[in-house]
Amino acid sequence: MDNFIKFFSFSEPNVRFVVIGMILMGIGTAAIGTFAFLRKRSLTGDAVAHSVLPGICLAFLIFNSKDLWILLGGAFVTGWISLAFIDWITRSTKLKSDTAIALTLSVFFGIGIMLLTFIQQTGDASQSGLNNFLLGKAAAMSPSDIETMAIVSIIILAVLFIFFKEFTLLSFDPDFAKTSGLPVVFLEITLTTLTVLAVASGIQSVGVVLMAAMLITPAAAARYWTDDLKKMLALSMLFAVIGGIAGAYVSFVNNKMPTGPWIVTVVSLFALLSILFAPHKGAIPKIFLRKKHSRKVVYENVLKVMYHIQESEQKETAVTASAIQQKRQMATADIRNGIKNLLHKNLIVEMQEGYRMTAFGLTEAKRIVRLHRLWEMYLTQQLNIASDHVHDDAEAVEHIITPEMEKRLIEILGFPEKDPHDKEIPYA
């Protein structure tokens, strides 16, 4: 508890530097990473992250300085060269983009490791700490590093704000962006430049190996929670910031724990929880939704059979479970569960001689039968499918047609009174 209070009081300068640095890094990388994720450039970010290492080493060898802006300059140059290399391989050879990315990543990272090893063996005392760029060392941040990160993050956010509409269109529909006259090449170069800048500025915190995760993982987690780009950007930055603070806290409590890997671990945990539990898109909610839909299909089919029996007898009648099974081949357990759900929803009532639809149940039964017969009409009239081949498709679609689709179907078909089998379409 003492460590918790001590950390979140931000009384120690080093804690303030690390936390502010992690927040700035998280905001910048998550923001531009969201667009990289939407443009399906996740692997490209990984390649850039690994390709900046030789740039850092070359900048140090040329200028003999560990000034962050000089090292960032070297990282920026090799990051851009790696992207040009990927583009050249893709355009000039028969290799696919994933192969080009893997090849570029391994070549540049191998050169980076070779240069780093060479520098370490020169005996130059000033090279001390250069290997921190490999796995990151957030705890070594200085005020000038914070200033650099702040400038980079402000540049990224400012450019994203200015070209937000253009970047959005480019990310979701690049073909339309091109035909609508947008300067697609300029926009792509700008986004790529910002990506390289974000990677270069963040490597000191989490290292080249883990930087790709910081670029893509927050966006991947946020995508599970919303389809709104602005909300996705906000969530992505929030996950990255929380991961940054949590990683810094773990490292503060136990100085043997590296900050960068813990940041990535926490952000990855957000992604895992999102994949499992995010409403609508998470794996577990999807399981419940599928079960709910299966139950709906079963009880709607039972209700539809009851309507068919009543329709054939042309009078209100009570229907037994055995009569339903004779009319339609359904498992006994499904009929039993369907009746149970219909009773629970007050769509039918139990009587001495069987089950009878309530007024609400009759309305619902007419809706299901109407959708079935409308869809059969659509398939025969609009798609020229033979009437004896449309039943199964209509069986599958009748349970998912929305009121808006139903209205549109009726308009397209011109309010038909009978289906392809000359059966009446019940409207009310």
pLDDT at 412 (0 to 100): 92
**Interhelix angle 13-38/164-172, nearest 10 degrees:** 50
pLDDT at 197 (0 to 100): 84
pLDDT at 317 (0 to 100): 83
Kindly state the DSSP code that residue 347 receives in the 8-state scheme: S
How many Cβ atoms are within 10 Å of 167's Cβ, its own excluded? 25
Report which of 167, 173, 18, 42 is spatially closest to residue 101, judged by C-alpha positions. 42
Both tokens of residue 23? 């927040």
Inter-CA distances, 201 with 28, 69, 88, 90, Å: 9, 9, 26, 28
Cβ 259 vs Cβ 248: under 8 Å? yes
Tokens 């379409």 found at: 425
pLDDT along the chain (428 residues), means of 10: 79 83 89 90 80 88 82 86 87 85 89 88 73 71 82 92 92 87 87 84 74 86 93 94 89 80 89 93 93 93 93 86 89 93 94 92 94 94 89 89 90 90 87
- What is the pTM (predicted TM-score) of this model? 0.78
Tokens 């309010």 found at: 415
- CA trace torsion 341, 344, 346, 349 (10° rounding): 80
pLDDT at 31 (0 to 100): 93
**SS3 category, 353:** coil
pLDDT at 154 (0 to 100): 92
Both tokens of residue 264? 């990535």
